[in-house]
Amino acid sequence: MRRSEPSGGNLDGCTLHTVERVTPETGRPPASHGIDVWLMDLSLFADGLSLFANPLSLEERERAERLRTPLLRQRFLAVRAALRWLLGLQLGIDPEDVALVAGVHGKPLLAGSEADRGLVFNVSHAADRAALALGWNRSLGIDIERIRPLRHRDALAERCLAADELSCWRAAPEAERQSRLFRHWVGKEAFGKATGLGIQAGFDAISMDLEPLRISAVPPRFVPAAAWHLAELEVAADYVGCLCYNGPPCEVRVAELALHPALPKKFPNGPEMR
């Protein structure tokens, strides 16, 4: 999905919409049968980040403390606080009351009495960007990556790409190979995250076409491949992103979640920013 696409376009069954800019102060309900993707520029959340710890659980705060650098800590806090805020809005509860657990392979899921309401979500972060996807009654996964030089690029391609993908990739002009590999990467990761298996999904068992973007083969336990949909996300310059979901094709809305210093700075029921 490209932000520059005109509203109402169509890609792989997903209705495209131009991005609106949304702040926590002006949050809106998600598409009732669709998926909302929220993009965060974490550099905009740099001030007063310690205050974002407020809605987090003790376990999350301890996890933040264990992160290597203050920057990683700040990013984790901002994304978790935003996730809790968005989930809380949908569930009609305070961000601090959102109960989260980790699935077998680590996928965060809703727990407690809210677990059966059908709200699903997934999160990805890369450098100073993050993406959060929320939907209902389906499986979804999201992945973003910063496009960067890869020292073992060809070896990575051989490890992650299925045989048909690898031949197409090798046939592509050298100048396109890096970005094409990253597009495969985020598509496969998004699929792995949608299933909850993460990296265990086996990337070479998933095959995708880049033009038009679609999944053409999935591991046997997830067939048919046609039940899975991909939507490419325009995250920022030098980033790639992809959403993967199953079930009927649906509207995917993309918005930026921003706390700008000039805007009112309060998470509903959450901390005020300095």
Ligand X SMILES: CC(C)(COP(=O)(O)OP(=O)(O)OC[C@H]1O[C@@H](n2cnc3c(N)ncnc32)[C@H](O)[C@@H]1OP(=O)(O)O)[C@@H](O)C(=O)NCCC(=O)NCCS
Q: Binding residues for ligand X, per CB under 6 A?
A: 76, 105-108, 122-125, 141, 143, 156, 160, 185, 188-189, 192-193, 196, 198-199, 203
Cβ-proximal residues to 71 (8 Å cutoff; 6+ apart), any chain: none
User: Between 197 and 259, whose beta carbon lies closer to ligand X?
Assistant: 197
Where does residue 221 rank: exposed (0-12), middle (13-18), buried (19+ CB within 10 A)? exposed
User: Between 11 and 130, whose beta carbon lies closer to ligand X?
Assistant: 130
Residues 3 and 218 sit within 8 Å (Cβ to Cβ): no
CB of 251 to ligand X, least distance (A): 22
CA distance 134 to 155: 34
The radius of gyration of the chain from alpha carbons, rounded to an integer in Å, stands at 18
User: Between 105 and 177, whose beta carbon lies closer to ligand X?
Assistant: 105
CB of 250 to ligand X, least distance (A): 19
CB of 200 to ligand X, least distance (A): 8
CA distance 98 to 89: 10
Omega cis (within 30) before 224: yes
User: Between 15 and 38, whose beta carbon lies closer to ligand X?
Assistant: 38
User: Between 198 and 219, whose beta carbon lies closer to ligand X?
Assistant: 198
Residues 17 and 254 sit within 8 Å (Cβ to Cβ): yes
CB of 118 to ligand X, least distance (A): 17
Residues 143 and 190 sit within 8 Å (Cβ to Cβ): yes
Residues 255 and 246 sit within 8 Å (Cβ to Cβ): no
CB of 162 to ligand X, least distance (A): 11
Q: Are strands 100-102 and 140-146 parallel, antiparallel or unpaired?
A: unpaired
CB of 103 to ligand X, least distance (A): 6
Cβ-proximal residues to 167 (8 Å cutoff; 6+ apart), any chain: none
User: Between 247 and 263, whose beta carbon lies closer to ligand X?
Assistant: 247
